[in-house]
Amino acid sequence: MKSSSARRVVVTGLGCVTPLGIGVDATWNAAIAGKSGVRRITRFDAGDFPAQIAGEVPAGLDLSDVPAKEARRLDRSISLALVAAREALESSKLSSDGSNCERFGVAVGSGIGGLESLEQGLEILVKSGPRRVPPFVIPMTICNMTSGYLAIRHGFKGLNLCHVSACSTGAHSIGEAARAIERGDADAMLAGGTEAPITRIGVAGFAAMRALSTQNEDPVHASRPFDRGRDGFVIAEGAAVLLLEAEEHARARGAPIRARLLGYAGTADAAHIAQPTENAEGAQRCMRLALEDADLGPSDVGY
């Protein structure tokens, strides 16, 4: 259970870029209409790959507010996060006037980071030698550059964090950002995750693990995790970012309060590098701890 002195954390901004659409409204409307964002891979020729389908973000990513020279130095994972974060800030109506920027932070993580940039840099190294490798390969590849670039873009000089924990990255980023606000280390945090793994090595690597669905002729029905006939997950790209705030900070500026974050927890199974334990003990324990953190019982949570 939280300390009685912990500040309450609210969500005031939402932003996302997904295979269903660019933006919260586009994604939500496509989801409730039953549309699928899974289709044949177009980002490279996947004709000889076991898995040839993915969830690609549709065309139309707007980076017009980023100088062209800077945009060329951004990995796709960073670009996706920039668009999602911009929407979150716009929907929250938060402005940084310079006097409050030291209390605003960023925690946007990535499980893999700039895989496309790393792959392209390696190709240049192999074909043309080390002297031809671009100087921005490393900055475009490392996972923390998304949080760093968002801070630069919006002038947020507070905490700058990058969590790297595979599929849990976004959840950890949101939870730990909320913790920072609760204990008074920040008044507002951009928090979430971004991923752009649809590259040749990304798809080939997951396929080698036999983790990907190979339902290439029926992409729409390939992702079915609870179906008896499931055969793997569908790799995808996208970004989702929330603006979290201390409730008193949000109320003081008349911000729209969309939700409250009441509880958070994290656990590890400590059993296998790629799959959870079959009895789901770790997941159960994590949920119990999150409920305790929120001072709630299981019956308090609806569907």
Q: Is the Cα dihedral 56, 60, 61, 66 positive or negative?
A: positive
- DSSP 3-state of 49: coil
Q: What is the CA radius of gyration of the chain?
A: 20
User: What's the token pair of residue 186?
Assistant: 């920040």
Identify the segments of the chain with pLDDT beneath 50: none
- Match domain 9-261 to its CATH number in 3.40.1390.20, 3.40.640.10, 3.40.47.10, 2.40.160.210: 3.40.47.10
> What pLDDT, on a 0 to 100 scale, did the predictor assign at position 1?
62
- What 3-state DSSP class applies to 204? helix
pLDDT of residue 32: 98
Question: What's the pLDDT at 99?
Answer: 67
Q: What is the pLDDT of residue 3?
A: 73
Q: What's residue 96's pLDDT?
A: 72
pLDDT at residue 275, rounded to an integer: 87
For residue 205, the model assigns a pLDDT of 98
Give domain limits for the chain.
9-261, 267-303
Token duo for residue 105: 């932070």
Q: How far apart are CA 72 and CA 17, in angstroms?
A: 19
